[in-house]
Amino acid sequence: MGLSRKEFLRLSAGGLAAAASGGFFAFLDAPKGFAEDVLQSDRIRKIHSHIASNKARHIARVQEYLRQPSVSSWGLGIKECAELLMSYFQRLGSKEVELVKTEGNPGVWAYYDAGAPKTISFYIMYDTQPFDEKEWGSPPLAANIVKMAPFGDVIMARGAVNDKGADAMVFNALDSILEVEGKLPVNIMFTCDGEEEQGSTHFHQVLAPYRDRLKTCNAHLTLGPSQDEQGNVEVGLGSKGICAVELVCSGKSWGRGPQQRPIHSSRKAILDSPTWRLIKALNTMVKADGNQILIEGLSDPIRPPSQEELDLYNALVRKFSGRLLVSEKENSKIWINDWTDAEALRHLLFDTSLNIDGLWSGYTGPGMATILPDRASAKLDCRLVPNQEIDPTRELIRRHLDKHGYADIEIIPIGGGDEWSQTSVKAPVVQSVLSVYKEYGIEPAIWPREAGSSPEAQYTRPPLNLAAAQGGLGHGGRAHSHDEYIVIEGNEKVAGLVRAEQSYVDILYAYANWPEG
């Protein structure tokens, strides 16, 4: 899987000295007097004051958006939520607001033209995960304000932090700028996805009509709550790609075992099993420990970490050793091969992986069904790092199965195909975000890339090739789980709604005034 430890240490030797030279703001190169001229200016203070004085109205906007259901897997409220989202763009004064039809849930396009020198691309997902209301402490569509320690008030609702509540706060910040200044500091092209929770399968159809215009953007910027419960911030400069597939072994395709339907399990004495065949096929893909991938050529395209990525990695290990992989440790005892935290982080950032998400072959209820299934399937995901690509990876899996005598096993692609994404810490949009964190006295942990996947590559890869950044104060949690929340009243470490919205204003003005090139 990727580089050996010896190779990595050789490459990282130069980065250790650079990382040791200072904290994370060693990666920030702000123009002289930038904070005083921009972030501490009277115009910013006026917008901040306006946000504080309109707190009740802003809370109501967050609740309004969250009370409109938009569960993509249920098809619940999708059309109505898209229409509500469009009304928000119209309220901003966007001259272009369009519902974009796809083969799945519709997307939304909007363009706000401020006549500004810079234009940003802004992505919004408006769908949410489903919920079981019985598990919630407050009804998931009520968007009630409840008390939650160690904070004060939070809004509890499905989509509170992922991402509808967060996006409503961004709209509040944009409205505040307009109400004080009359126009935004940047032009914004909004592209909105109604099925990210289903893998953004059709999002490329939302982008397609506008790609030539999106090419004219200067950067892709995402605003939202980025603090954890302790007020710490992580900045991700990219993400891994994901090649997700379903492998299907059927008696019909194989020509052995049950051919049309499951049969009584007693007949296993005389019939082959598609389930066992699939398990045998899966076993050929990894060594006995299940960790070292044996698919020939899978790791060949991986490029070594760049010097910048190594500098960032070494700074993470040096500065934040006590905070590395905390959430993972809550649900595990030991890393693969007894790695140290630093070694585990290295593999998490720079290695590919092959995971079995689920294995199905028949009855899954209580008790026994005593059947010999005619069909078995397994869902796999392979996380991709530069320069691995989805289609060639899928072809390598096909070639591996064929080579090992499993040509009958079908490969079905899953999801919208999120490729890996990468942006330099030196990009102006990243630098402007870092300048705001410095103004707030928060030293962020800058990750070369996140281990997960997202549609961000649609913007950072050809044909758009935009630098991308995300940031902002505020906190929310329990995404995809019950009692999802977003903080309204923070504490001395975590920003509440007012300070979070103020930080979004700061980032927009920081980027609008940051020198390009």
Do 115 and 82 lie in a common domain? Answer: yes
**Could you tell me if residue 25 is inside a domain?**
no
Do 233 and 261 lie in a common domain? Answer: no
How far, in Å, CA of 140 to CA of 69, rounded? Answer: 9
Do 337 and 409 lie in a common domain? Answer: yes
Do 366 and 255 lie in a common domain? Answer: yes
Do 81 and 178 lie in a common domain? Answer: yes
User: What are the C-alpha distances in Å from 154 to residues 143, 486, 493?
Assistant: 9, 5, 15
Longest dimension (CA), the chain: 83
Q: What pTM did the predictor assign?
A: 0.90
Do 190 and 277 lie in a common domain? Answer: no
How far, in Å, CA of 54 to CA of 329, rounded? Answer: 41
Half-sphere exposure of 225 (CA within 13 A, CB side): 31
- Encoding tokens for residue 117? 């020198």
**Could you tell me if residue 23 is inside a domain?**
no
**Could you tell me if residue 160 is inside a domain?**
yes
Do 410 and 426 lie in a common domain? Answer: no
- Give the list of residues 6+ apart from residue 366 with CB closer than 8 angstroms, or none: none
Strands 119-125 vs 219-223: parallel, antiparallel or unpaired: parallel
Handedness of CA 126, 97, 168, 226 (dihedral sign): positive
Could you list the residue range(s) of the whole structural domain that residue 389 is in?
5-18+240-414
Do 332 and 459 lie in a common domain? Answer: no
Name the DSSP class of 36: I
* Domain end among 414, 431, 446: 414
- Encoding tokens for residue 165? 């509540």
Query: At what angle are helices 307-319 and 5-20 packed, to 10 degrees?
Result: 70
Do 56 and 86 lie in a common domain? Answer: yes
* Domain end among 382, 414, 446: 414
Q: Among candidates 79, 109, 122, 107, which has minimal Cα distance to 195?
A: 107
* Domain end among 388, 414, 440: 414
State how many domains the chain has. 2
Are 355 and 335 in contact by the 8 Å Cβ rule? The answer is no
What pLDDT score was predicted for residue 200? Answer: 86
Do 425 and 486 lie in a common domain? Answer: yes
Are 495 and 230 in contact by the 8 Å Cβ rule? The answer is no
**Could you tell me if residue 362 is inside a domain?**
yes
- The residues of the chain scoring below 70 in pLDDT are 1-23, 517
**Could you tell me if residue 26 is inside a domain?**
no
**Could you tell me if residue 24 is inside a domain?**
no
CA dihedral 79, 488, 510, 114 (to 10 degrees): 40
Phi, psi of 142, rounded to the nearest 5 degrees: -85, -25
Q: Report the CATH number at residue 368.
A: 3.30.70.360
Q: Among candidates 128, 410, 381, 467, which has minimal Cα distance to 278?
A: 410
Distance of CA 224 to the CA centre of its chain: 12
Report pLDDT digits (tens) over 356-409: 999 999 888 888 889 999 999 999 999 999 999 999 999 999 999 999 999 999
Do 345 and 436 lie in a common domain? Answer: no
Do 47 and 190 lie in a common domain? Answer: yes
**Could you tell me if residue 167 is inside a domain?**
yes
Handedness of CA 49, 51, 56, 57 (dihedral sign): positive
What pLDDT score was predicted for residue 322? Answer: 83
**Could you tell me if residue 221 is inside a domain?**
yes
Are 221 and 122 in contact by the 8 Å Cβ rule? The answer is yes
Q: Report the CATH number at residue 473.
A: 3.40.630.10
What pLDDT score was predicted for residue 169? Answer: 98
